[in-house]
Chain A
Amino acid sequence: GENVEQHPSTLSVQEGDSAVIKCTYSDSASNYFPWYKQELGKRPQLIIDIRSNVGEKKDQRIAVTLNKTAKHFSLHITETQPEDSAVYFCAASSRSSNTGKLIFGQGTTLQVKP
């Protein structure tokens, strides 16, 4: 089955710097790669996702890149702000009609220092 590895487990940056979180996956059939943000005591919420036919996707200060050959994808946050502090999870899934398993990485705790 699918296995997702996420690094680093913790990341501390100064406000205004960039942050990069990387994930690798094992199942070459995976075709959907979302990223979730979880603030302290809250539920995870989708911030951005990418499909296997796209190499990069941007939404304001966040972007995700995908390298299908190497089976890894990354989250990039530019101009970080204190409100970006949270736990970030990557996930991978071959979300066809027969499966639908969304497997998550271990999470990265991002701390943005003012």
Chain B
Amino acid sequence: NAGVTQTPKFQVLKTGQSMTLQCAQDMNHEYMSWYRQDPGMGLRLIHYSVGAGITDQGEVPNGYNVSRSTTEDFPLRLLSAAPSQTSVYFCASSYSNMINSPLHFGNGTRLTVT
């Protein structure tokens, strides 16, 4: 099993550009989520999904869109990048959103918006 795979590992965007951060898991996990990590801010939840076709907002959803058309994939879209979106983005999944299923993180995507 590859676990949680994020692509790309690094990305530089200009303000106003759009892009999609990819996340895929091969563990048949129902629950998937996106976090951003900024110094001193911890891990902040952007969006999450409890199953295919279901998504919901986290703590900091503005500027980001998500969709969950399959169990395996949970892409994060930036429609018009802003310097404030410079961050490290982590995708994470778990078997379910019940308390017996730990969260597994991908290796992260480092995004710089100039």
A residues at B contact (CB < 8 Å): 1, 6, 9, 31-32, 34, 36, 42-46, 49, 51, 89, 91, 93, 95-97, 99-107
Contact = CB atoms under 8 A, between A and B. Distances in A.
Given A99-B97, A106-B41, 8 more contacts: A6-B42, A32-B99, A43-B108, A44-B43, A89-B43, A91-B43, A93-B99, A101-B45
Contacts of B90: 43-44
B102 interface: yes
Given A43-B90, A89-B43, A106-B42, A100 B105 contact: no
Interface of B: 31, 33, 35, 40-45, 48, 50, 58-59, 90, 97-99, 102-103, 105-108
A49 B102 contact: yes
B106 to A, nearest CB: 6
Given A34-B103, A45-B105, A107-B42, A95 B59 contact: no
A31 B99 contact: yes
Contact of A97 (B41, B43, B97, B106): B97
A29 B45 CA distance: 18
Contacts of A9: 40
Nearest to B103: A102
Kindly list the 3 A-B residue pairs having the minimum CB-CB distance in the complex, ordered from nearest. Answer: A100-B97, A32-B99, A104-B43
30 contacts: A9-B40, A31-B99, A34-B102, A34-B103, A44-B43, A44-B90, A44-B105, A46-B102, A46-B103, A49-B102, A89-B42, A93-B99, A95-B98, A95-B99, A96-B97, A97-B50, A97-B97, A97-B98, A100-B31, A101-B45, A103-B45, A103-B59, A104-B42, A104-B43, A104-B44, A105-B42, A106-B40, A106-B42, A107-B42, A107-B43
